[in-house]
A and B are shown apart, each in its own frame.
Chain A
Amino acid sequence: MKSSIPKSQFKNPVINWIDTRLPIFTAVNEAVGTEHPTPKNLNYWWNFGSLAGVTLVIMIITGIALAMNYTAHVDHAFDSVERIMRDVNGGWLIRYIHMNGASFFFIVVYIHMARSLYYGSYKAPRELLWILGVVIYLLMMATAFLGYTLPWGQMSFWGATVITNFFSVIPFVGEPIVNWLLGGYTVDNPTLNRFYALHYLLPFVIAGVILLHIVALHRFGSNNPLGIDIKSDKDMIPFHPYYTIKDFFGLAVFLAVFCVFVFFLPNFLGHPDNYVPADPMSTPAHIVPEWYLSPFYAILRAVPDKLLGVLAMFGAIGILFILPWLDRSPVRSAHYRPMYKIFYIIFIINMLGLGYLGVQNPEGIYILLGRVCTAWYFIHFLVVMPLLNIIETPMALPKSVSDPIFSSGSSGMAPAARRSKK
């Protein structure tokens, strides 16, 4: 009987004993180790998934440290944050890491998403992988918003007021729902307390969805810059050590940039009004969201109607869920899609434009520009994406991941010749 028990592969007797009974070492090895085959042609844009994971860990660790010193009460919240900045040992560092960490988390995730858009990583069979990513993105926005409320500055207070009021557009039950969210008629102490509880909870929910994201990723493996399916083991290399070392190198570069902000520009990405204590009786002249929510704020303001504005804003995020079915082109990578490549660049510029407009005063030319950019955002997804499949002729795809490497330069004929032979 004893010999029929499947034994773990590990040589170390202690690890072997544990892994036979609880295969965690096998699981790790298959996730990020030598047993995880990965396309050999991944470029640096593929670094940002693991970077996002590292950022989440940084946020959770610094967040727990901040929670040990923070007081969730309207009379004490602002002061407790100032105490963290001035009196708590190293408190300023922990808070600046957490503050800027939120921004960098979004930078990393935006690049991660932009990579997916360019290389078509959301396409079959990776639709659910993409959708889980959008869920993580939504949870991140919720978490960031809740966290931004906690210092109880002017931007905290009025950001919370505006965002919870989005729900007042729901017909008939809008007002009761807002009062339910706030625990009162205005943003007040009950609101701060529940936002704190949820801000602590959601990162762990995000961690759970990330696990699902990784399970879905490993079902078909990573996409690659050529966007073609991997056909043989020759196109693969083990994750460890090849991509672990590459990810660590990327992490070092990332941390260097991050440290520049933490130590030299800690408030560059924030808004000075949040160092003014919350005043329920006066709204700051210019309320702006954090930069990472700015594009959606621009969309909200572009529509001169409350209900439609809120619908457009949520729709702008909701549309990402159906992206895999809007883009019907069978070719994944923009590398082989000459027209999509151009529209992709326009889309990115348009997105940056929306981000810029979201923090400007809604007057004059900015109103018009906001409407143009908002319209283009939806046109890109609802018109351009479906249409490209019909009017675009993709370039010929290489036969395998190795193909373009060995055939480029010396003989441009090779891929075509090889294909015709088949």
Chain B
Amino acid sequence: MSKKKTRRDFIVIASYSMGAVGAGAAIWPIINQMNPAADTLAMASTEVNIGALEIGQALTVKWRGKPVFIRRRTEDEINETRNVAIDTLRDPQSDEERVQKDEWLIVMGVCTHLGCVPLGQKIGDGKGDYGGWFCPCHGSHYDASGRIRKGPAPQNLEIPPYSFISDSVLKIG
């Protein structure tokens, strides 16, 4: 029984390898069919009329099946978010980086912890300890810039791609 590699060894290894590749190729479509389908992927955009929104008011719209929070912030809220020392934040970002227009904060209404919709949009909702949003599921607090301040969430509320078509029309997506 010599340990010398023979041509037969090569054939055996090559056969097993081909078998493995073939099995993988056959399984892939079964796995891939579970990925988002073409119609789901087609990234729809939403246009929102924000002309009627007064200062201090908020609006929730649906985009890609998820809520988007639009908040027309008060002077106090803007000042408050800008007076925070950035390096004390869990996910350091200045408020200026997170908005296009000072008054308008547009963020995904999806908690970065486990995907619940935070409270704070409706009148009468608790806004959490930092004047933004509070997630009831596991107690994450966000400030008026949508930044995570307290609780288990690891990141600030995500900012969707958006642009202002005019002063009163916002396009998300």
Chain A positions near chain B (C-beta within 8 angstroms): 158, 161-162, 164-166, 168, 179-186, 188, 190, 194, 280-287, 300-301, 303-307, 309, 362-363
Whether B66 pairs with A185 at a CB distance below 8 angstroms is yes
Within 8 A of A (CB), among B32-66: 34-37, 40, 60, 62, 64-66
Contacts of A305 in B (CB 8 A): 152, 154
Within 8 A of A (CB), among B109-142: 109, 112-119, 135-139
**A residues in contact with B62, CB < 8 Å:** 280-281
**Contact between A287 and B137 (Cβ–Cβ < 8 Å)?**
yes
Give the interface size bracket for B toward A: 20 to 34
B65, A185: Cβ atoms closer than 8 Å:
yes
Query: B37 to chain A: which residues have CB within 8 Å?
Result: 183-184, 190
Instruction: Give every chain A residue within 8 A of B116 (Cβ-Cβ).
Output: 158, 161-162, 283, 287
Is B115 in contact with A280, judged by CB distance below 8 angstroms?
A: no
- Which residue of chain A has its CB nearest to the CB of B125? A285
Are A162 and B139 in contact, CB atoms less than 8 angstroms apart? Answer: no
Please determine whether A183 and B136 come into contact, CB atoms closer than 8 angstroms: no
- How far is it, in angstroms, between the C-alpha of A300 and the C-alpha of B113 when the chains are bound? 11
Measured CB to CB, the nearest residue on chain A to B155 is A306
A185-B36 in contact (CB<8A): yes
Contact (A285, B36) CB under 8 Å given A186-B65, A309-B152: no
Q: Are A179 and B36 in contact (CB under 8 A)?
A: yes
- Bound CA–CA A186/B114 (angstroms): 12
Contact A303 B35 (CB under 8 A): no
Q: A303-B152, A304-B151 are in contact. Are A281 and B117 (CB under 8 A)?
A: yes
Judge whether B34 and A184 touch: CB under 8 Å.
Answer: no
User: CA separation between A366 and B153, bound complex, in Å?
Assistant: 19
Nearest Cβ on chain A to B171's Cβ, whole angstroms: 18
Question: What are 22 inter-chain pairs, A to B, with CB distance below 8 A?
Answer: A162-B116, A165-B113, A180-B35, A182-B36, A183-B36, A184-B37, A185-B40, A185-B64, A185-B65, A185-B66, A186-B65, A188-B40, A190-B37, A281-B67, A282-B117, A283-B136, A285-B136, A287-B116, A287-B136, A306-B114, A306-B152, A307-B154
> How distant is the Cα of A307 from the Cα of B67 in the complex, in angstroms?
24
> Which B residues are in CB contact (< 8 Å) with A181?
34
Q: By the criterion CB–CB under 8 Å, are B154 and A184 in contact?
A: no
Q: Per a CB cutoff under 8 Å, which of A165, A182, A185, A281 touches B114?
A: A165
Residues of B within 8 A of A182 (CB): 36
Q: A412: shortest Cβ distance to chain B, in Å?
A: 56
A338 CB to closest chain B CB (Å) equals 40
Q: Which residues of B contact A362 (CB under 8 A)?
A: 138-139
Decide: A184 and B115 in contact? CB cutoff 8 A: no
State A185–B153 Cα separation when bound (angstroms): 19
* Further contacts, 13 of them, CB under 8 A, given A162-B137, A165-B115: A164-B115, A165-B114, A182-B36, A183-B34, A184-B36, A184-B40, A185-B36, A190-B40, A281-B109, A283-B119, A283-B135, A305-B152, A307-B154
Q: How far, in angstroms, from A158 to B37 measured CA to CA in the complex?
A: 22
A309 to B154, CA, bound (A): 11
A180–B40 alpha-carbon span in the complex (Å): 12
Least Cβ–Cβ distance between B166 and chain A, in angstroms:
26
A183 CB contacts on chain B under 8 angstroms:
34-37, 40
A179 touches B35 (CB 8 A): yes
Assembly CA distance A301 to B151 (angstroms): 10
Report Cα–Cα, A258/B163, bound state, in Å: 58
Smallest CB gap from A178: residue in B: B115
Q: Which residues of B contact A168 (CB under 8 A)?
A: 114-115
Inter-chain contacts of A287 with B (CB < 8 A): 116, 136-137
Chain A residues whose C-beta falls within 8 Å of the C-beta of B138 in the assembled complex: 300-301, 362
Contact call B137/A363, Cβ cutoff below 8 A: no
From B31, B36, B115, B139, residue with most partner A Cβ within 10 Å: B115
Chain A residues whose C-beta falls within 8 Å of the C-beta of B34 in the assembled complex: 180-181, 183, 194
- With a cutoff of 8 Å between Cβ atoms, the chain B residues found around residue A184 in the complex are 36-37, 40, 65
**Min CB gap A197→B, angstroms:** 10
- Chain B residue at minimal CB-CB distance from A164: B115
What chain B residues lie within 8 Å of A188 (beta carbons)? 40, 65
Chain A residues, Cβ within 8 Å of B60? 281
Q: Which chain B residues border A282 with CB–CB below 8 Å?
A: 117
Asked whether A280 lies within 8 Å of B67 as measured between CB atoms, the reply is: yes
The CB with the most chain A CB atoms within 10 A, among B31, B40, B119, is that of: B40
- Assembly CA distance A300 to B152 (angstroms): 10
Minimum distance in angstroms from B121 CB to a CB of chain A: 9
B115 touching A161 by the CB < 8 A rule? yes
Tell me the smallest distance from the CB of A282 to a CB of chain B, in Å: 6
- The smallest beta-carbon distance between B75 and chain A, in angstroms, is 29
Q: CB-CB < 8 A to A304: which residues of B?
A: 151-152
Nearest-CB residue, chain B, relative to A188? B65
Q: With a CB–CB cut-off of 8 A, which chain A residues contact B154?
A: 305-307
Asked if A306 contacts B35 (CB within 8 A), the reply is no
Is there contact, CB below 8 Å, between B114 and A166?
Answer: yes
Query: A367: nearest residue on chain B (CB-CB)?
Result: B139
